[in-house]
Amino acid sequence: MSALANHAFAKMNGIGNEIVVVDLRESLRDSRAAVTADDARAVASRVPYDQLMVLQPPRLDGTAAFIRIYNSDGSEAGACGNGMRCVVKKLFEASGEAAATFETRAGLLNCWQGPAPDLYTVDMGPPKFGWKDIPLAEEFRDTRYIELQIGPIDAPVLHSPSVVSMGNPHAIFWVDDVDAFDLSRFGPLLENHPIFLERANITLAHIVDRDHITIRTWERGAGLTKACGSAACAAAVAAARLKRANRTVEVSLPGGELGIEWRERDDHVLMTGTATFEYEGRFDPALFAS
């Protein structure tokens, strides 16, 4: 039987990113045995989500939990900034703490109460720009732009994205209007393009000015989403690399706003935003019976 059977969960929201949080720290002794891809898909069939955040017992001293992150198609993600804010809101309100460190597949993430009671900051760590780190199927010495396009060669619809890893792969296409493209059509094609060895999050980004960027994202393994925190980080970093924006910007997503700072002293990317509790529930064991 699944570790999720009859277990409590919290349905939450990170500026439109639908998140389910499950705390298995007390019920799991072996942090390697938690949740399967089939379990994650079963949950999505009953409680639709973008990411499922599963807290397992900590593996490292000084961390609050080891977190596995599942997309709604059952695949695993290395990072989810909006999901992490939901996790820390739930934990901080229960414990009264104001800071914690978590381990994910992407590494250690430090989180703390933001500049206001309803804001939470996640240190997403340093971005990676090497073509092998993203990873890409072929070498590009300069990942500020790569050769990739959709549409006719002489009149491409989208072309020359910036690529970066924020613990997961991102491709950012620079456009004048993020709503002028059918992202639900182009997103799946680009997510699964052979150049992206582990698929990719696909973002349309418009630089409003040096302090403000607007984005829409097709999220790898989840589809069209109202918000993607790591995509906001990736777009902010990519814009700064191109010297088209400052290192501290506001990023507007369909679901709301995020503050992103690419900190110069240590290269870390900080993401600040809200998180909202929606409801609590308990998984029906019959959901996992098959």
- pLDDT tens for 76-112 read 998 899 999 999 999 999 999 999 999 998 899 999 9
Rounded mean pLDDT of 266-280? 97
> Is 60 exceeded by the pLDDT of residue 30?
no
3-state secondary structure of 233: helix
Helices (H) and strands (E) in the chain, counts: 4, 19
**Hey, how many other C-beta atoms are within 10 angstroms of the C-beta on 17?**
29
Q: Could you tell me which of 155, 148, 290, 172 has the C-alpha nearest to residue 231?
A: 172
Rounded mean pLDDT of 196-207? 98
> Is 80 exceeded by the pLDDT of residue 47?
yes
Rounded mean pLDDT of 248-255? 97
3-state secondary structure of 180: coil
pLDDT value at residue 281: 96
The encoded tokens of residue 11 equal: 């349905």
3-state secondary structure of 4: coil
pLDDT value at residue 33: 54
pLDDT value at residue 32: 46
Angstrom distance (rounded) from CA 232 to CA 81: 9
Rounded mean pLDDT of 30-59? 87
- Cα 84 to the chain's mean position, in Å? 9
The predicted model scores a pTM of 0.93
> Is 80 exceeded by the pLDDT of residue 148?
yes
Q: Return the C-alpha torsion angle 99, 260, 150, 183, nearest 10.
A: 70
Angstrom distance (rounded) from CA 208 to CA 190: 24
Rounded mean pLDDT of 187-209? 97
- The DSSP result for 57-97, as a single string, is --SSTT-SEEEEEEETTS-EES--HHHHHHHHHHHHHHH--
Angstrom distance (rounded) from CA 168 to CA 176: 25
**H or E element that contains 40:** helix 37-46
Angstrom distance (rounded) from CA 4 to CA 39: 8
- The DSSP result for 241-290, as a single string, is HTTSS-SEEEEEETTEEEEEEE-TTT--EEEEE--EEEEEEE--GGGG--
> Is 50 exceeded by the pLDDT of residue 63?
yes
Label residues 236-246 b or e (16+ Cβ within 10 Å = b): bbbbbbeeebe
Rounded mean pLDDT of 9-21? 96
Positions marked catalytic: 80, 228
Paired residues of 270 in beta bridges:
123, 261
Paired residues of 273 in beta bridges:
120
Rounded mean pLDDT of 125-143? 97
Angstrom distance (rounded) from CA 51 to CA 80: 8
